[in-house]
Amino acid sequence: MSLRKQWRDLDRSTVRSAPDRYALYEVGDDNGTSLGVGIGVLPDELRELLAYGEGSNFHSAVDADAAGEPAKVRWELTTSKSHAENLLAEHRDD
């Protein structure tokens, strides 16, 4: 299941504008193909994605050798870490 949100470019301006809240986020390549999902404090996770290609709580949905580079991101804000964990569990069950 993909998040029903519009993709945003994964760049510094997106990181700067991201709310400082927990979120479930989805990462995509240049074509908008989903590479996986993760949870965490959104700006922190996006900084990790920019620097290292994945966040600390990122779960890849594709084979690393076949995956494109992270270029897009979209997210669903949550009310807490446990809410984000619940959304991730639901997302993985779909």
Stated pTM of the model: 0.87
pLDDT band with cut points at 50, 70 and 90 for residue 75: very high
Q: What is the pLDDT of residue 67?
A: 63
Going from the N-terminus, what domains does the chain have, and what CATH number goes with each?
Answer: 8-93 (3.40.1440)
Q: What is the pLDDT of residues 21-74, one digit of tens each?
A: 999 999 999 998 888 899 999 999 999 988 887 666 777 776 655 567 889 999
What is the C-alpha separation between 37 and 60, in angstroms, rounded? Answer: 7
Helix (H) or strand (E) holding 86: helix 81-93
Instruction: Judge whether residue 92 has pLDDT over 90.
Output: no
